[in-house]
Structure formats: C-alpha cells, structure tokens
Amino acid sequence: MNAVRIDGKVIAESLRARVARDVALLQANCNVTPGLAVVLVGKDPASSVYVKTKAKQAQAVGFKSKQFLLPSNVGQAELLELIEQLNADDSIDGILVQLPLPVHIDRWRVLEAIDPAKDVDGFHPYNVGRLAAGRPALAPCTPLGVVHLINTVVSDLNGLDVVVIGRSNIVGKPLATLLGDAGCTVTGAQLQTRNLPEICRRADIVIAAAGCAGLVRGDWLKPGAIVIDVGINRAVDSTGTTKIVGDVAFAEASKHASYITPVPGGVGPMTVAYLLANTLSAAISRRNLSLAMGVEDRHVCPPRVLSRILQVDLQHEG
C-alpha cells in the first residue's frame, strides 16, 4: 500500500478562493469589508513570518488588514488597552493575538479580553463553551482545517473510530468535539497513554498533535487508515541540516495508510485559510445578517449572497 498525500496547499487555496469570492459579494451587495487585526508582541522570527503570511493572505482575499507590532517589554495594561480599542472598532471583525506572549504577560487575561464575537482564533472561554455545548461558535482554526481535510477523502464520518493524540486547548480538545459532533467515536490520547500503539491500530483515522517528532510509526496503523499529522517539529538530520518534520514517521506510515498529510504542506496552510473563513463568518454574524430577515431591509444581504457565504463548511469536496 502506498498512501495518497492529502495536499493541504491545494485545498487551502480552494478555500481562500471561495472566501475571496464571498468577500466580493459581501462588498458589492452589503457594502461590508471584513477587517482583521493581528497583534504581535516581540520579534520572534517564526511568529513574525507567520504574522506576515496572515496579513498577506488577508489582503489577498479583500480584507482590511491591520498589524500591530509591539515591543517585547510592552506592559500588560498597554496590550489590554489596545485590545479594548480593537473591540470598539466596528471596522475590525477579527482580532488575533499571536502566541506565545512574553512571560510577564498573562496569556489568559489577554485572550479573555478579546470580544468573543471577534475571537477568530476560537480561544475565548465563551466560544469554547458554546462549541462544547454544540452551539454555533467560532472554533479554533487548526481543528476546522483538519476536519475539512478529512472530508476531502471521506464523505461520511458517522461511526468511524478516531484517535486524537494530544489534548491541547488549541487542537486536541476542540478537534475531538468537532469529530464527535460529526458522528465519530473519538478516543483522546496523549504521550502518557498506555498501549498507545494498540489503540491506534484499531482506529480508522489517526490524528497526531502531540509535538513529538516521528511518534506514530507505520506498524501503529491499521491498513487503510487515514493519517493526519498536525505536528511541527524541528529536527537535525545526519548532515546537520535542520528541517521541519511532523509527529508521524511519514515514510513508514505511507506504507500502511490510505491517505496521509505531509509536513509541511498539510494542515499548516489550512490553519491560515480558516482564520480567513472565521473572519468572514464573524463579519456576517456581528452584523446580524440572516437568511430569515427580509430582503427589503437595506442592512441585510440578499439570500442569494448569504447562501454562498462560507461559515463552517465540513461538506465533502471530492
């Protein structure tokens, strides 16, 4: 068996094109342009590159994009004041504070200060709670991207056994919720889980998000399993060259799996694409645009526009 690669770059590009199309419709029919503000504290090289990528893609789909670059020694009060200003700015629909933050700043105090309606990262306790309760919410971008990738290769998730390795608030926990809501039987695991290889061998889908390079081996997999690698790890090969690798031993796993995501080029591009999708969704919901409202209301988009606007699309694209 030789697994088919799930190309996250191509799928993310398709999603971004759909967002750009719907932004143009929103502008033309409702005179609304979504706005995204990204806040970066300090000069971490990886975070700086990531922020620039987000800003570039936001502009490419037609958003208003603002970047706020703050020094690493900025006070927590000053950062919170900026967030309050962005909360009050009606032209901003999405606020993203790039993590990690310096140690002198309380991360949760900052994340909880963001207006939940503008929380396009999906980290605010309000959105976390609504997601857990099965209510409409802004969900974290990486889990949304993972489910989207899975749905490109399997149309019906009902009854499938899934193992999610990793229990982070950013990926593992919300991903388990989304997959459970989609009808999967989800086993949450972590590095300390006993008999982890045997648990994985029973799964139809294995998702690795533990931050441990090469954790999932080929013989951990049931033949034909779908493998989604969320891990991003720096590894040094025998020549001393540093490269990015995932949590899955890719060459081994490819001999057992039916579909597999590469690292890089798998989940990563989908995370940024869903940041755009979440911002579009926030721009719509913040203005109470609804198919149920009358078209004659000049503040409401016509149904033909809203019906095409992507919010959380987990439909099969194959």
Q: Which residues are catalytic?
A: 54, 98, 121
Q: Helix or strand or coil: residue 143? A: helix
Dist CA 281 CA 62 (whole Å): 14
Per 3-state DSSP, the chain is made up of helix, strand and coil in percentages (nearest 5) of 40, 15, 45
- Rounded distance between C-alpha atoms, residue 153 and residue 260, angstroms: 10
Strands (E), the chain: 4-5, 35-41, 64-70, 94-97, 161-165, 185-189, 205-208, 226-229, 233-236, 242-245, 259-260
Distance between CA atoms of 51 and 96, rounded to whole angstroms? 10
Nearest to 314 by CA among 148, 175, 152: 148
Q: Please give the span between the terminal C-alpha atoms of the chain, in angstroms, as a whole number.
A: 21
